[in-house]
Each structure stands twice: as C-alpha cells, then as structure tokens.
Amino acid sequence: MHKLYDFMEARERLGTVIVKTKLIHSPVFSEESGNEVYLKPENLQKTGSFKIRGAYNKIAKLSDEEKKKGVIASSAGNHAQGVAYAAKKLGIKAVIVMPQHTPLIKVEATRRYGAEVVLHGEVYDDAYKKALELQKENGYIFVHPFNDEEVLEGQGTIALEILDELPNADIILVPLGGGGLVSGIACAAKLKNPQIKVIGVEPEGAASALAALQKGEVVELKEANTIADGTAVKRIGEINFEYIKKYVDDIITVSDYELMETFLLLVEKHKIVAENSGILPVAAVKKLNIKGKKVVAVVSGGNIDVLTISSMINKGLIMRGRIFTFSVQLADKPGELLKVSEILSKQNANVIKLEHNQFKNLSRFKDVELQVTVETNGEEHIHKIIETFKKEGYEIERLNS
C-alpha cells in the first residue's frame, strides 16, 4: 500500500504532462441532490481521459533497461491512447493490441500518438491474451489498465488536486470499472484526509466490485451489459480489490436510463460532453442519502463518438419528459386531426412528428390511429396535455417512458 509521499512524487512526475483540471461548481446537480456539487472534468485531460496519469506514471518509473524493451498494452479505448501518448513523450516503443472491431476513430487516434496497433480477436479478452503472447515473445513490459500499483498511483494524483482546491470536501464519487481509478483516489484522499468519504460508482449491468465485496473475494460476472462500455468489466483487479476493501466507503450502482438523463443535463447545463462511463459519478449524485455536503464527482473521460452523442441526447430528452410520444384513436371523419392540433397548440406543445394511419386500427373499424411526437417542458407539461385530451373526450396512450 502506498504512502502519501508516493502520490506527491507521482504528481511531480506528471507535472509537465497533464492538464490540471479545475473543479466546476454545478448549480443544477447541487439543486437536484441538496448538496454542493463540484465536477472534476478529466474529460478535458490530454487524450480525453484520466488514463494518461496512470500510464505515464507507470512508464516513467521503468528502469532504463526496461524502457529499451518497450511497452505493450491491450485496450479498446482510453488506456490505449494513454499508453501510446506516454510512450511517445518518453521516447520508447509502444504496442497496443485492440479487438478487431474497435471503431476506426479509436484505432487512428492511438496510431497518431505513435503506437504500433495490432488488431486481434472479437472482444477485449482476446486482445488481452494476444498482448500477453507478444509480451513473452518480444520481452515488452506489460502496462495493465488497472491491476497495477504504479498505474493506480498515477490515478491517485486526482485526489491531491481535488483536496488542494477544496480541502473541506466531504465526498468524492468515482467511476468504478476495473478499480484502478477508485483505488488510487481513495488511497490518496484518505491519506491526506482520513475523514473524507470515497464512493465508487458502477453501472448496474456490470457491478463486479459490488459482487466481489458481497462474496468476499474477486468474482467474474457472467456478463457485463451496460452502455458505460469503459466500465463494462466482468472482473475487477486483485490488487484493486484490496484497496477497495480498505479505503472505499461505499459503492452505488447507476442504471443506463439514469446515465442518459445525466448526459443530457451535462450537455445542456454545463456544455460538457463526456462518455457514458465518465458520467457515472454525476448520475449517482442524486442517489446519495445525505444533504448539505460538499461532493466532488469525477468526470473521468470524454471519448465518445458523434453518433452515440446524438443517441444519448435523444434518449435523455425522453427520460427528462422533454419529448413525448403518444397514440390516440380518432373517428375516421374530417376535422378530427384539426381538433388534436388545436389542443396541442393551446398547450404550447411543439409537434415534431405525426403519423396518421387509417389501416393500423383493426379492432375498431371506424377509427384511425394517430401517433404524435411533441416537444414538451417536462413531466408536469405532459400530464397537463394528457388531462386536456381526457376533458375533450380523447384517451391517449403514452408510447415512451
């Protein structure tokens, strides 16, 4: 286990390499949770995530002999870019093994940092095995994304920055996948301030740390099913499990639906674009069962493709009640569509999409089904629309929730 000066030395080591990401106070998440909420925007970090910290710290601490051998890592995302960037900065060879179907944008980003990319296998586990084979064949030094003392030491520098800026912080919320980030932050934070609470946040569909704590040992989940792909880890690191047991106060899980809602709020209210795994702590803010505390949510990364951004915004709008789709049965006669339009107009609901289908309703011969999508101001507005339709004699069925 590390001492405080280990993290302080790591911070010195990273001084010229990283961006010092300043805390951002969040009025919207403070109001939602009843706490004073601050965001630590590691999505603005070099390479777009916190991973540069651990990767650089690990590689910089290698001996001259080890550096000559070069490094190897397996990753489909942020760790790949962190290792590639760190190796380029230190002038040593880096090989990154990625699954064959890794999005081209991530492959190219890794290559741009000067790494040799090997595409192998269908999933991360295949790439990991291939990386171990290449390590044995070529004598490379393996840089693990989380199950590594030097890597978690680098990640822990985030805690020092948080507590320098906000010494009286009560709680730090941290994304939890393999456990490297939460291990480093929890250890460094507790060494600097033993009273602080550190809470890990996992996706509901991949809660491998929670499963390990419940069993008392590291376990492998049957599946990791979540949109937070950066934390879709079936098995946490053995080293990390020891740190979590000793330093982490609690673990909260967050659903994919909660992530969608949080994504929209971050974009709309803070102009922050972050990846799904990076916003786990922000989604967990309103699940804290305490009020009036100073809470820091670590936004761990921002590497997300444009199509996913579009999908997350649309789903977030639905989750927040800002998009409302419903169906209504109308008599098949002139003027009915006009009545519906007038109701919506009086309720200030902006029509986005309309589908008038004479052939869809087979159960009631003289009726047609109208499907409508409108832009609304939230759940209260939606209920007013539903009530107004009822008063006018129309039963409407909500088609999204």
Active site residues: 51, 300
DSSP 34-63: TSEEEEEEGGGSGGGBTHHHHHHHHHHTS-
Give, as one character, the DSSP assignment of residue 301.
B
Residues 6+ apart with CB under 8 A from 93: 70, 71, 87, 116
Other residues' Cβ atoms within 10 Å of the Cβ of residue 4: 14
C-alpha–C-alpha distance, residues 280 and 203, integer Å: 7
Query: Is residue 43 within 8 Å of residue 158, measured between CB atoms?
Result: no
List the structure tokens of 335: 């003027």
Report the DSSP beta bridge partners of residue 198.
Answer: 172
Q: What distance lies between CA 358 and its chain's CA centroid? A: 44
With H, G, I as helix, E, B as strand and everything else as coil, classify residue 369: strand
Q: Is the dihedral of CA 73, 77, 79, 83 positive or negative?
A: positive
End-to-end CA, the chain: 47
DSSP 70-110: -EEEE-SSHHHHHHHHHHHHHT--EEEEE-TTS-HHHHHHH
Instruction: Encode 111-143 in three state secondary structure.
Output: HHCCCEEEECCCCHHHHHHHHHHHHHHHCCEEC
Residue among 51, 26, 42 at smallest CA distance from 161: 42
CA angle 53, 55, 59 (to 5 degrees): 120
181 burial via Cβ count (<10 Å: 0-12, 13-18, 19+) = buried
C-alpha–C-alpha distance, residues 278 and 280, integer Å: 6
Other residues' Cβ atoms within 10 Å of the Cβ of residue 35: 21
